[in-house]
A and B are shown apart, each in its own frame.
Chain A
Amino acid sequence: MNQIAITHTQWQPICQRSDLVADSGVCVLTGDRTLRTVSAAPKSIALFFIPHAEPQLYAIDNWDPLAGAGVIARGLLAEIDGELTVASPLYKHHYRLRDGICLEDNSVRLGTYAAAFDGDKVLIATEPGNH
């Protein structure tokens, strides 16, 4: 029997454009009780806004499994061999923004999510995936 999985991209408003910091990261919590969102389990996600890059917005898991702490949003953006990465602040592992892969240990990968602007609102789709 074949199984066909159908996934919809569920966009949810997550914060305002003014919450973002250019060329740096902020952290959002999805699925929080106080927010009206789709996915149930709360998840912290780092949002990076890079005005001069294409795309401008990146959403990636905030939890750094190699450091064992939720700190990715506080990492420094670093371009390594032409690829945009974030250097995790604790032990400086580089995670590639486009797919979450860790450059030092490519068996480790953070979830990445689609993110976009809708006017002043920032939208995010919380099923992990590549975009």
Chain B
Amino acid sequence: MVKQKLIVIGNGMVGHHFLEQLAARPEKSLFEVTVFCAEPRPAYDRVHLSEYFGGRSAEDLALGKVERYREWGFELLLNDAVTAIDRDRKTVTAASGMEKSYDRLVLATGSYPFVPPIPGHEHEKCFVYRTLEDLDAIRAAARGARRGVVVGGGLLGLEAANALKELGLEAHVVEFAPGLMSVQLDAGGSELLKNKIEDLGVTVHTSTATELIEEVDGRLCMRFQGDRELITDLIVFSAGIRPEDSLARSAHLQLGERGGIVIDESCRTSDENIFAIGECALYDNRIFGLVAPGYTMARNTVAQLCGESMSFTGADMSTKLKLLGVQVGSIGDAHGRAEGAAAITFVDEQTGVYKRMITDNTGKKLLGAVLVGDTGDYDQLLQYHLNAIDLPEHPEQLILPAADGAAPALGAGALPAAATICSCHNVSKGQIVDAVQGGCCSLGEVKDATRASTGCGGCSALLKNVIDEELAALGMEVNNHLCAHFPFTRQELFHLVQVEEIRTFEELLTKHGSGRGCELCKPTVASILASLWNEHIHRKPHVGLQDTNDTFMANMQKNGSYSVVPRIPGGEITPDKLIVLGQVAKKYNLYTKITGGQRVDLFGARLEELPEIWRELIDAGFETGHAYGKSLRTVKSCVGSTWCRFGVQDSVAMALHIENRYKGLRSPHKIKMAVSGCTRECAEAQSKDIGVIATENGWNLFVCGNGGMRPRHADLFATDLDDTTLIQYIDRILMFYVRTADKLQRTSVWLENLEGGLDYLRAVVIEDKLGIGAELETQMANVVGTYQCEWKTAIEDPEMLKRFRQFVNTDTPDDKIAFVEERGQPRPAREGEIVRIAEPA
């Protein structure tokens, strides 16, 4: 059989999606596929491009992999742009000189950033924001620079401004129009966004037209209309995109008036053998500058090539995003341009929230919406809009802050089966319901089965609602089992272990579980066993249960080396001990950093070096800092009344006391504490799981604070406690938490889920409502009494030390771990810096 020759020009996000869809079909074998890619690497995730500045590597962003294409049998030509199409001979010619013939051709050439022809725009410190190479160039230019200006206040411009800010520059945005994000937002929303963004330290110049860019004293000077000017070190243009249609133009395919390759509903261009998809394509006189519509075109074209019919009839351009930390959402006709449209607006100037809904002339259908500052209502509004669901009687309630239970929530149940839940992968509610009915019971299973929520991730909350609702409809209990091996919650297991005095994982598994366990239940059970019986985590039956960090009592770093964190209670340390830390770090060539927890972290130890390092530290009087465990981390303290002129109690002494008491306590998640010597709160106790603040009369106790991903202010639990009562309460609170929390639940979330909340916790701890106060204290006393420095025990036990061999059959070190020097210290070598990183074939 002769295969059809299929050529794809452009390997961007949409081109890649096209190939991925084709590869998944049996018809793949009918085509001989060649892909021309102008960039030096296969497709990557442009949508998350900015994360390249946030630490993700080019590899992390990669979508297409060379090996994958090879596996699919597609020929991928990197770094080779097509320069001409000959439609008569049905051939394409590439920059390399290669000529190839096609039966079918797919143009997926995307778009390019538009740079307004301002005199001076070619200066070497002027950039655009589209490819990894662009970002590399910006990063290089930002070194040593102070200020950066983005020209263009649209969605991408603000993203670029954020990137400049993250690079440490003073960021400015210059926008020609009177408002920011004028495509998506109305005037009110745009104004509020501007205020919010200025509050974050980005200067915004609207209604500002740049007339000239010139170099002055080694910096750039931007001259604006009306005699204003701005000095900067670099400029990023983000003034819109233009379809990359030059090939199509010289091949005389039909183009739109302002560019773009004209396609019909089947994504065909004016030549029936040539398709165009993604940002280069123009449908109904519109360019679709988002991935979701591009993906739809890609799927459509694959269907056409496989002889099916499917039609592309435009796409919804609603967006929800976070710009510089400000939530912004825009749905449908945000400007209310339709005839008879009516608007309902809600503004809260204090919290900076702006919400506006546009309804049709009957007030029954939602035409569009604008949300700034709070996009919590986005999913629901979008569903009303996309599915033309009738609005409730008082539609304003949809955007008003919930007045106790009044909000008429649109449950997932109200959505029609055809409602699109995930627009990235075009998954409808019906498909999700089918998946659940077909036996998928968890979010993960549904994601695997339908691909929903595996793109931008924006739909995950809604997806979960649909799944939960469907599970409930099927009469299934929403499963809160620990994992597939134990049909119990953590709390139930804790109880079983305690009551039946179970000592090993095997025993618990035999009695109450099934199978062999996994990475969810093993560490959880290990933690329960440790909280109750406090045996060394390296004792024989427990060894295989721990996460790496616990197993090797150190935190694994990205290159497989480890960090070492000795305990420095309360942050107090003698000069001698500091010197030892320095000496050890020097001897083993460790990267040294002061942590956010008032101690010192030594990074880059090889597995086999850990015991030696710890021997030296222990000889100098250090103990393990449990930085690897779900256990007490640090007790932060301020200097307190000993030195500080304001201090009213000795906060350091109290911090030392509680750190030494609770060190080694294994718990559902890590625990952090702090003690401040007065109300000025220099130790930030109100952001900790346990926070103690000195008063004239004793101590105020705060509980269940959290920093991290979802910060929570701690609640004031009790006031003016004496030392003994303070400790008694902390004992009880911690043990109650250890007993009843879910796996990996910090105290903050635990309290929020505790029925009865803070009042109930007070009743249990202060009034001893459950009559378990004494028992909790005894249990804590047991943990405190059986404390051992795990590292001290380990270095004295030859059996345990055997674990710290890189290779059990030779002393040769692992040559894959390599370091280079930066700022006078070692750091892990990056790919390319290492001579040989991959395993030899």
A residues with CB within 8 A of B: 14-15, 19-24, 26-29, 32-35, 41-44, 47, 50, 52-53, 61, 63, 65, 67-71, 74-82, 84, 87, 89-90, 92, 107
- How many A-B contacts at CB < 8 Å in the complex? 125
Q: Are A29 and B807 in contact (CB under 8 A)?
A: yes
Cβ-neighbour of B808 out of A22, A28, A34, A71 (below 8 A): A28
- Contacts A24-B543, A63-B816; A32 near B516 (Cβ below 8 A): no
Chain A min CB distance to B525 (Å):
12
- Contacts A14-B809, A74-B548, A107-B67; A68 near B837 (Cβ below 8 A): yes
Measured in the bound complex, the distance between the Cα atoms of B812 and A29 in whole Å is 8
Q: Are B560 and A70 in contact (CB under 8 A)?
A: yes
- Contacts A41-B840, A71-B560, A74-B552; A89 near B810 (Cβ below 8 A): no
Q: Are B807 and A44 in contact (CB under 8 A)?
A: yes
B residues with CB within 8 A of A: 59, 65, 67-68, 71, 484-485, 515-520, 522-523, 540, 543-549, 551-552, 556, 558-560, 607, 802-803, 805-812, 814-817, 831, 837-840
Chain A min CB distance to B743 (Å):
14
Cβ-neighbour of A28 out of B552, B803, B809 (below 8 A): B809
Measured in the bound complex, the distance between the Cα atoms of B113 and A3 in whole Å is 54
> Which residues of chain B are within 8 angstroms of A92 by Cβ–Cβ distance?
519
From A76, which residue of chain B is reached at the shortest CB distance? Answer: B519
Question: Which 8 A-B residue pairings sit nearest by Cβ, starting from the closest?
Answer: A23-B544, A78-B518, A89-B548, A69-B560, A19-B808, A24-B544, A79-B516, A87-B519
> Which residues of chain A are within 8 angstroms of B816 by Cβ–Cβ distance?
44, 63, 69-70
> Which residues of chain A are within 8 angstroms of B812 by Cβ–Cβ distance?
29, 32-34, 42
Q: Are A43 and B840 in contact (CB under 8 A)?
A: yes
Measured in the bound complex, the distance between the Cα atoms of B839 and A15 in whole Å is 21
From B540, which residue of chain A is reached at the shortest CB distance? Answer: A22
Q: Are A82 and B556 in contact (CB under 8 A)?
A: no
> Which residues of chain B are within 8 angstroms of A107 by Cβ–Cβ distance?
65, 67-68, 71
> Which residues of chain B are within 8 angstroms of A44 by Cβ–Cβ distance?
807, 814, 816, 839
Q: Are B810 and A78 in contact (CB under 8 A)?
A: no
Chain B min CB distance to A56 (Å):
13
Q: Are B518 and A69 in contact (CB under 8 A)?
A: no
Chain A min CB distance to B394 (Å):
46
From B802, which residue of chain A is reached at the shortest CB distance? Answer: A19
From A30, which residue of chain B is reached at the shortest CB distance? Answer: B809
- Contacts A22-B544, A24-B544; A90 near B517 (Cβ below 8 A): no
> Which residues of chain A are within 8 angstroms of B515 by Cβ–Cβ distance?
79, 82
Q: Are B556 and A74 in contact (CB under 8 A)?
A: yes
Q: Are A71 and B840 in contact (CB under 8 A)?
A: no
Chain B min CB distance to A104 (Å):
9
From B841, which residue of chain A is reached at the shortest CB distance? Answer: A41
Can you spell out 11 A-B residue pairs with CB atoms less than 8 angstroms apart? A21-B543, A22-B543, A26-B808, A29-B812, A52-B516, A68-B831, A77-B544, A79-B516, A79-B517, A82-B515, A89-B548
Inter-chain pairs besides A76-B547, A80-B484, 5 sampled, C-beta below 8 Å: A32-B810, A42-B815, A63-B839, A76-B548, A79-B515
Measured in the bound complex, the distance between the Cα atoms of B802 and A34 in whole Å is 20
Q: Are A69 and B840 in contact (CB under 8 A)?
A: no
> Which residues of chain B are within 8 angstroms of A61 by Cβ–Cβ distance?
839
Q: Are B809 and A35 in contact (CB under 8 A)?
A: yes
Q: Are B516 and A43 in contact (CB under 8 A)?
A: no
Q: Are B547 and A84 in contact (CB under 8 A)?
A: no
> Which residues of chain A are within 8 angstroms of B809 by Cβ–Cβ distance?
14-15, 19, 28-29, 32, 35
Chain A min CB distance to B116 (Å):
41
Measured in the bound complex, the distance between the Cα atoms of B506 and A50 in whole Å is 13
Cβ-neighbour of A74 out of B551, B802, B840 (below 8 A): B551
> Which residues of chain A are within 8 angstroms of B71 by Cβ–Cβ distance?
107
Measured in the bound complex, the distance between the Cα atoms of B559 and A22 in whole Å is 26
Chain B min CB distance to A109 (Å):
11
> Which residues of chain A are within 8 angstroms of B560 by Cβ–Cβ distance?
69-71, 90
Q: Are B516 and A28 in contact (CB under 8 A)?
A: no
Chain A min CB distance to B557 (Å):
9
Q: Are A76 and B522 in contact (CB under 8 A)?
A: yes
Measured in the bound complex, the distance between the Cα atoms of B516 and A50 in whole Å is 10
> Which residues of chain A are within 8 angstroms of B522 by Cβ–Cβ distance?
76, 78
Chain B min CB distance to A36 (Å):
12
From B518, which residue of chain A is reached at the shortest CB distance? Answer: A78
Measured in the bound complex, the distance between the Cα atoms of B809 and A14 in whole Å is 7
> Which residues of chain A are within 8 angstroms of B803 by Cβ–Cβ distance?
21
Q: Are B807 and A27 in contact (CB under 8 A)?
A: yes
Q: Are A43 and B839 in contact (CB under 8 A)?
A: yes
From A77, which residue of chain B is reached at the shortest CB distance? Answer: B544
Chain A min CB distance to B832 (Å):
12
Chain B min CB distance to A3 (Å):
20
Measured in the bound complex, the distance between the Cα atoms of B807 and A14 in whole Å is 11
Chain B min CB distance to A97 (Å):
11
> Which residues of chain A are within 8 angstroms of B484 by Cβ–Cβ distance?
80-81
- Contacts A15-B808, A19-B808; A89 near B556 (Cβ below 8 A): yes
> Which residues of chain B are within 8 angstroms of A87 by Cβ–Cβ distance?
518-519
Q: Are A69 and B558 in contact (CB under 8 A)?
A: yes
Measured in the bound complex, the distance between the Cα atoms of B799 and A21 in whole Å is 11
Chain B min CB distance to A70 (Å):
5
- Contacts A15-B808, A26-B808, A79-B515; A69 near B65 (Cβ below 8 A): no
Measured in the bound complex, the distance between the Cα atoms of B806 and A23 in whole Å is 18
> Which residues of chain A are within 8 angstroms of B810 by Cβ–Cβ distance?
29, 32, 34-35
> Which residues of chain B are within 8 angstroms of A41 by Cβ–Cβ distance?
840
> Which residues of chain B are within 8 angstroms of A69 by Cβ–Cβ distance?
558-560, 816-817
Measured in the bound complex, the distance between the Cα atoms of B515 and A79 in whole Å is 7
Measured in the bound complex, the distance between the Cα atoms of B519 and A74 in whole Å is 12
Chain B min CB distance to A11 (Å):
15
Q: Are A89 and B547 in contact (CB under 8 A)?
A: yes
Chain A min CB distance to B606 (Å):
11
Max chain A Cβ within 10 angstroms of own Cβ: one of B549, B552, B810:
B810
Chain A min CB distance to B81 (Å):
27
Measured in the bound complex, the distance between the Cα atoms of B548 and A60 in whole Å is 18
Measured in the bound complex, the distance between the Cα atoms of B831 and A84 in whole Å is 31
Chain B min CB distance to A123 (Å):
12
Measured in the bound complex, the distance between the Cα atoms of B514 and A82 in whole Å is 10
Chain A min CB distance to B551 (Å):
7
Q: Are A77 and B516 in contact (CB under 8 A)?
A: yes
Measured in the bound complex, the distance between the Cα atoms of B548 and A76 in whole Å is 7
Chain B min CB distance to A94 (Å):
8
> Which residues of chain B are within 8 angstroms of A79 by Cβ–Cβ distance?
485, 515-518
From B607, which residue of chain A is reached at the shortest CB distance? Answer: A74
> Which residues of chain B are within 8 angstroms of A28 by Cβ–Cβ distance?
807-809
From B816, which residue of chain A is reached at the shortest CB distance? Answer: A70
- Contacts A27-B807, A34-B810, A35-B809; A90 near B556 (Cβ below 8 A): yes
Q: Are B547 and A80 in contact (CB under 8 A)?
A: no
From B803, which residue of chain A is reached at the shortest CB distance? Answer: A21
Q: Are B806 and A27 in contact (CB under 8 A)?
A: yes
Chain B min CB distance to A125 (Å):
16
Chain A min CB distance to B518 (Å):
4
Measured in the bound complex, the distance between the Cα atoms of B277 and A81 in whole Å is 40
Measured in the bound complex, the distance between the Cα atoms of B152 and A70 in whole Å is 45
> Which residues of chain A are within 8 angstroms of B543 by Cβ–Cβ distance?
21-24
> Which residues of chain A are within 8 angstroms of B485 by Cβ–Cβ distance?
79
Chain A min CB distance to B796 (Å):
19
- Contacts A26-B808, A44-B814, A74-B556; A80 near B518 (Cβ below 8 A): yes
Measured in the bound complex, the distance between the Cα atoms of B799 and A22 in whole Å is 13
Measured in the bound complex, the distance between the Cα atoms of B724 and A30 in whole Å is 59
From A64, which residue of chain B is reached at the shortest CB distance? Answer: B560
From B811, which residue of chain A is reached at the shortest CB distance? Answer: A34
From A28, which residue of chain B is reached at the shortest CB distance? Answer: B809
Chain A min CB distance to B349 (Å):
44
> Which residues of chain A are within 8 angstroms of B831 by Cβ–Cβ distance?
68
